[in-house]
Amino acid sequence: MKNTDKTDNNRITNINKVYNIEINSMDDINNINILKTILKGLGIKSAKIIEENVDLQYRYLENLQKTLNNDELFLKLVILNAIVSYQLSTTGEKWWKEFSEYPWNNILNNNNNNDNRNINNNLFKEYILFLSNSKGNKRLNNVKIKRINKITPFLKDLSISDLENYYHNMNKFRDDIAKELNTKKSSKTVVFTIKMFGYASRMVFKKFIPYPFEIEIPKDSRIEKYTKRFANNGDVITFWNNISSEVGIPPLHIDSILWSALGNSKDVKIHLKSLDNKLYNMIETLIHL
């Protein structure tokens, strides 16, 4: 029994070192192993299915793209909305629904010549107007408007070709966004912006490019709470980076698998149940670990 206890303690110590977390029992290790086994079984293919069929944010972007019929405007709007998607007054799902239902076509309708320069100028003014009057994003409004103004010169100069190049090199886009905002590459809003840009680009360029392994998981409240099921303390990003490399799924795709299912949206639950039984049961097991 003493040898068993010593072996268990050694395993716990090793896990703590590898994942930069603090676990206290073999139950935590067992749950981490179950987590890894299920994620390996899901893979990137299942992550894509979940993104496109379960994540309401993806569905709202699809609706917006069809309504706008201007891909450059669509991509830039998604980037703007993503960089201020923090400290929300509502859930992420409701916030992106509000964003997608705003009459953005006003930008095009007020530009009879379809001049991209005028569209770009109107885009940033219209977005600030939307943000200032939004229901789901009322906190730190002045700070967020400053952030929009900071990114405006960079975004304004990007062509649809530039945006496509960024889709093929999302690490570079992450670096450039972080530089323009003068923040860390791993900051939640930067990596979340890459996630939403990836969604939108998939629709525009009709091509699925997996997220890079180098881009971290967005450290939001849902993911933080879920991580605490496996560890009392420790670095959330390091934990998921290690899980990611072991299971072969980039962190942003792991986020897609978990984030929607961990919420309380009735629509998400309906979409989850529409998946095939095996996939649904795997997700259910994950969120109840």
Binding-site positions for 8-oxoguanine: 57, 85, 96, 192, 218, 255, 259
For residue 157, indicate whether it is catalytic: no
Do 284 and 258 form a contact (C-beta atoms < 8 A)? no
Mark out the alpha helices in 84-217 (DSSP H runs): 92-101, 105-109, 116-132, 141-156, 160-168, 170-181, 188-205
SS3 content of the chain, % helix, strand, coil (to 5): 70, 0, 25
Instruction: Identify the active-site residue in 220, 273, 276, 278.
Output: 220
CA 211/CA 194 separation, integer angstroms: 8
For residue 188, indicate whether it is catalytic: yes
Do 222 and 192 form a contact (C-beta atoms < 8 A)? no
Structure tokens at 145: 């408007």
Do 39 and 230 form a contact (C-beta atoms < 8 A)? no
Instruction: Identify the active-site residue in 97, 144, 188, 219.
Output: 188
Binding-site positions: 57, 85, 96, 192, 218, 255, 259
CA 190/CA 184 separation, integer angstroms: 8
Please give the positions annotated as active site.
Answer: 188, 220
